Structure 1
Amino acid sequence: MRGTEMGLKTSVFLLALWAVSVPTQESWAWSHKRGSAHARRGLPNDHWGINMTTPELIDAFGYPVEIHHVTTEDGYILEMHRIPHGKAGPSENRPVAYLEHCLLCSSSDYIMNYPEEALAYILADAGYDVWLSNMRGNTYSRNHTTLDPEKLDFWKYSWDEMALYDVPASIDHVLKETGADGVYYVGWSMGTTVFFAMMSEKPEYNDKIKVMAGMAPVAYLGNAIGPIMELAPYVMEVEVVLQLLGVGELFPSNELMDYLAEEYCDVNSTYSQICYNFLFLLGGPDADELHKDFLPLIISHTPAGASVNTIAHYGQMKNSNNFCKFDYGELGNIMHYGRREPPLYNLTKVTAPVGLFWGNTDWLADPADVARLAADLPNLVLDYNVPKEEFNHLDFGWAIHANEYVYTKILELFSAY
């Protein structure tokens, strides 16, 4: 009975994953509805920005923006978005802020709010030269020197490769373009995972970091809960079946997501509560801070796509309760690592100063797992529990009062270095 139940659950889940992994070919049409909260803030309507790119959104808010491209050592072509200065205009010797996004996210997730509450704009107006990364496979980084994103080979990577290739290449590009001797690093969720892994594999990059602010940090997942974590025991089975189906990518951003965002996630929609509850199921509860005015914009840009292996890697972390490299199975591990088990990352090599920012109701970066990470870091300079009873995984980027609860402390941390 248990096997039948597991097989049924897995089959249903695989069909759902397959459905959301297939980019829609249909042209979805809609009519704009009346403006409300957005109109009161100078934006045209509730659906403003759904079809706009990150650079277009930045420009629409009156900030300067640049697009840069970086080619990694293994051939992936990444797109970076830069806000060189705030609305006050350029100045000399601006410190550099480098922002790394979360799983299924992109550069857009640091601007999904009004300028006084969105971290990218806040840093730009505070005097920083802001660079927004896009790691391989998301909406903006779906190119390669030889591989085709329509083929499975393009997607044969996890966040291991992002840590080893994407983040170092992006940081090197930023330092070359700006002439700075180091960056102020912000990571959110997977943006913290790749930071810690990079420092383990390339400890020389510690010298290129002024200080790191880790929001909702993820290196351990032993205490993580939620629907995604419930599937962790079946991660190897799911991965194999998806590969047999030729599926390498999950949850891409496409026209279907734009349509769903506009039709069902609008604050005036009778279905909007479904969108809210879906987000709470992913990141944990916090009804007070969900920015309902921006929900259609968020859903239209996020999820931004990820490889099957990247998502599977987090399931493996839950199962092993360790911060380790991707598990290819016993034979695959022998081929890749020369051993049966995937190697552990060495957090003692993270010698750059680190500040951790965590919430009480974060289901993915559970406070107990964050405490374990904090104990393993040799240069922890701040261990900051957001002073709110409910503050979840997604609040760090999208909360109504994110600046009050988190970003002011990040600015204080940066100013000390």
Structure 2
Amino acid sequence: MAVPFIGRLRLFEWPALLLSLVLVVLEYLLSIITALLPSFVIAFFHRLTTAIFTLVPTSGVNKLLADPGLDEVVTEVREAHGFVEICRIFGYDAEEHIVKTQDGYLLGVHRIGGPKHSAWRTRPPATPRPVVYLHHGLLMNSEIWVANVDPTKVLPFVLADLGYDVWLGNNRGNKYSKKHVSLRPTSVQFWDFSIDNFALYDIPDTINYILELVNQPDLVYIGFSQGSAQAFATLSINPGLNKRVKLFIALAPAMAPPGLRNNIVDSLMRASPSLIYLLFGRKAILQSAAFWQSIMYPPLFVKTIDISLKSLFNWRCKNITYPQKLAAYPHLYSFTSVKSVVHWFQIIRSGRFHMFDDELQSPFTETKYFYRVASFPTQNITTPIMLVYGKTDSLVDIDVMLSELPEGTVAFGVPEHEHLDMIWGDDIDTLVFPHVFRALSKFSDAPLSLMLENNNAGNMSMSTLNTVDGSDGEPVDTSTPKAVTGVLGRSRVEGMTYQSSITSQEQLTKKISRSFSSSHSGFNFGRSDPVVEVTKTNLD
């Protein structure tokens, strides 16, 4: 007679099972022992690791020691307890809202209360502001968007200063959404959700709440990582929602990742979902991460995260400065369900962006003749889509992604950039933001002249504004600017950023205002043209 559960494991899963069990048990025992240690012992080890890092400082530590002002900002952001507190560090007001989903989850939603320096404050209250909604990635929350040492590189702050009504969402189960009208977070039922639930309830219910509250017909959706996957999913199964999302911008988009770079972990990930449930249970995953973060010396925590990212994804995070890591990494993790991670493992195993497979032990799961879980019909999306991705991001297969998206989808690759670089990279204001602003210029109702007026206080760098319009600029050859014919005859424009020759704000206002009032021929949203060309000639 087969042993329950264990007897169902395949032969090749046993090595991964044994190794994983050893690691999980060791981590569990170590966390218990550490939690039981007297506070003075923990303080001793904290001082010891501090002394070690002080004796052998990294270049990042030296930079902090040489710049007390930067050190203060890093400390404030790192130690901030929540989204609202981070916003206040940089002088921004933030609101907290609660969205009740149709299945009873209570989601925390944040709103940037208004621009820090803006002419919008003097405009009549009835004047509507264009709405932008941003959504985080896997094991994250809304804090990842604002956890930065430089406010000019925080996309929500920049958008708010440009006059947009900025909202940020949170998934069920994370730091701001760990509540239900009838289920307790200690129950297995509370954590019984996957990407399907995000697509069916969290995203559409949040969008509807926002638009009804501000009395607007539509908004722009900006998703990072899984935040983009959730948009792909919900737009593909909610035809009416496509009318309420007028533009979808995906940063470091995720759909069907090729897998992880660590062979052992990749083998575990491709194993039976039952194995994952055995190791991590059926509630929240990696709950001990918050405990270790709370007791580790911050530079040691940064080093631990860097090693983990390199081991799992081969990310080196060279475009993220050490001060930025020190400030942002503590805000990187938030709770999610084991089931949602299992869902991603199923997608990677199958190579398809599909709904959760409930038949975990079905003998027909991997056969195409008798059983095939439904894929999200992403070709049905009618909302215009723009993808911005790092060309060295191991989680993005742009050719596969384009083959699954509607014709007319535009993609921009940023050379030598990885996943987290899209939100925390030191050069996102010049390599990522311009793509966002050019797309917004086509779909936003806010004239750029007002945006520049809003920016008179100088919160947004001129270098960022100078890259919004390429009408008089030369393409910067960060690789070889070209239109590359993609799968199914589509194309993507890679390696393109623009450096404007405009030097004065007055000249910039005149030039870019024309750009914002006309359509860029380089963005063929909603068109069926097989090739998208972006050159200096057709941007003039």
Give the TM-score taking structure 2 as reference length.
Answer: 0.67
Quote how far apart the aligned CAs of 1:73 are: 0.6
Give the AA of the match of 1:400.
Answer: D
Match of 1:248 in 2: 283
Match of 2:318 in 1: 288
Match of 1:75 in 2: 104
- Contact preservation (8 Å) 1:36, 1:45: no
- Contact preservation (8 Å) 2:249, 2:386: yes
For 1:313 and 1:152, the matched residues in 2 are separated by 17
More off after superposition, 190-199 vs 6-15: 6-15
- Contact preservation (8 Å) 2:17, 2:275: no
Within a 5 Å distance, the mapping from 1:52-71 to structure 2 comes to 52-71=81-100
Match of 1:96 in 2: 131
C-alpha spacing 1:345/1:129, structure 2 compared with 1 (3 Å): same
C-alpha spacing 1:38/1:134, structure 2 compared with 1 (3 Å): farther
- Contact preservation (8 Å) 1:37, 1:46: no
Identity %: 27
Give the AA of the match of 1:71.
Answer: K
More off after superposition, 189-198 vs 254-263: 254-263
2:235 alignment partner, one of 180, 196, 199: 199
C-alpha spacing 1:392/1:326, structure 2 compared with 1 (3 Å): same
For 1:220 and 1:68, the matched residues in 2 are separated by 32
Match of 1:363 in 2: 394
2:309 alignment partner, one of 279, 304, 310: 279
- Contact preservation (8 Å) 1:36, 1:46: no
List alignment gaps of at least 5 residues for structure 2. 1-10, 55-60, 365-369, 444-540
For 2:15 and 2:87, the matched residues in 1 are separated by 48
2:163 alignment partner, one of 115, 122, 127: 127
Quote how far apart the aligned CAs of 1:384 are: 0.5
Give the TM-score taking structure 1 as reference length.
Answer: 0.86
Match of 1:268 in 2: none
Match of 2:521 in 1: none
Quote how far apart the aligned CAs of 1:150 are: 1.5
Match of 2:417 in 1: 391
C-alpha spacing 1:296/1:185, structure 2 compared with 1 (3 Å): same
Say yes or no: does 1:50 pair with 2:50.
no
For 1:292 and 1:142, the matched residues in 2 are separated by 31
1:167-207 deviation digits (Å, cap 9, x = unpaired): 01110111012122111110111111111110122111000
Quote how far apart the aligned CAs of 1:88 are: 1.4
For 1:127 and 1:20, the matched residues in 2 are separated by 50
- Contact preservation (8 Å) 2:389, 2:413: yes
C-alpha spacing 1:254/1:7, structure 2 compared with 1 (3 Å): closer
Match of 2:340 in 1: 310
Quote how far apart the aligned CAs of 1:376 are: 2.4
Quote how far apart the aligned CAs of 1:108 are: 0.5
2:244 alignment partner, one of 183, 205, 208: 208
For 2:384 and 2:30, the matched residues in 1 are separated by 39
Match of 2:187 in 1: 151
Say yes or no: does 1:220 pair with 2:230.
no
For 2:116 and 2:65, the matched residues in 1 are separated by 26
More off after superposition, 38-47 vs 165-174: 38-47
- Contact preservation (8 Å) 2:96, 2:108: yes
C-alpha spacing 1:47/1:275, structure 2 compared with 1 (3 Å): farther
Question: Higher relative contact order at CA 8 Å, sep ≥6: structure 1 or structure 2?
Answer: 1
Quote how far apart the aligned CAs of 1:263 are: 5.4
For 2:79 and 2:408, the matched residues in 1 are separated by 39
Q: Counterpart of 1:69 in 2: which secondary structure?
A: strand
Say yes or no: does 1:179 pair with 2:179.
no
Quote how far apart the aligned CAs of 1:378 are: 1.7
Match of 2:439 in 1: 413
Match of 1:376 in 2: 404
- Contact preservation (8 Å) 1:285, 1:392: yes
1:330-351 deviation digits (Å, cap 9, x = unpaired): 67899xxxx8432111012111
For 2:23 and 2:375, the matched residues in 1 are separated by 30
Give the AA of the match of 2:437.
Answer: L
Quote how far apart the aligned CAs of 1:236 are: 1.2
1:282-324 deviation digits (Å, cap 9, x = unpaired): 4443443123112233232221111001111111111000111
More off after superposition, 135-144 vs 32-41: 32-41
- Contact preservation (8 Å) 2:274, 2:360: no
Q: Counterpart of 1:231 in 2: which secondary structure?
A: helix
> Runs of at least 4 residues of structure 1 off by over 4 A?
1-4, 16-22, 24-35, 330-334
- Contact preservation (8 Å) 2:21, 2:279: no
List alignment gaps of at least 5 residues for structure 1. 266-271
Give the AA of the match of 2:275.
Answer: V
- Contact preservation (8 Å) 2:282, 2:339: no
For 2:309 and 2:74, the matched residues in 1 are separated by 23
More off after superposition, 321-330 vs 205-214: 321-330
Match of 1:298 in 2: 328
1:105 alignment partner, one of 140, 148, 165: 140
Within a 5 Å distance, the mapping from 1:300-339 to structure 2 comes to 300-329=330-359
1:92-139 deviation digits (Å, cap 9, x = unpaired): 322111001100111011112121111111211222111111111111
Let me know the Cα RMSD of the aligned residues. 3.0
Quote how far apart the aligned CAs of 1:237 are: 3.1
For 1:203 and 1:392, the matched residues in 2 are separated by 32
